Each structure stands twice: as structure tokens, then as C-alpha cells.
Amino acid sequence: MKYECTVCGYVYNPEEGDEAGGIAPGTKFEDLPDDWVCPLCGAGKDSFEAI
């Protein structure tokens, strides 16, 4: 399942992770650190919705 930032539209894809943020491919959204933020706009995890 992918998650979209409701602020800027960035889509977190667990298969890709967030290489720039140090998140390895295969990391589920639920397993992201609590302080992880959107790499585009800086919004917190609570700004994301499942798509």
C-alpha cells in the first residue's frame, strides 16, 4: 500500500523507501520512525493517507 502526503502530494512507496531520508526499500509506512517527515514539504506522518 502506498501513502500520499495530503499537503504536497508526495507518494511514499514502501518498495522504494526514502533513500535520501535513510529509509531502506521494503520499509512499511507503519515502520517509519515517528519523526520521519515528507521529503518534499516536511509534513509529519499524520499528514499522509493510504491510497
What's the pLDDT at 23?
A: 98
pLDDT classification of 8: cutoffs 50, 70, 90: very high
* Digit-coded pLDDT (tens) for 15-28: 999 999 999 999 99
The span from the CA of 27 to the CA of 8, in Å, is: 21
Q: In whole numbers, what is the pLDDT of the chain averaged over residues? A: 97
Contacts of 6 (CB under 8 A, 6+ apart): 43, 47, 48, 49
- For the segment 31-40, the average pLDDT, to the nearest whole number, is 97
Helix (H, G, I), strand (E, B), or coil: what is residue 51? coil
The span from the CA of 18 to the CA of 25, in Å, is: 7
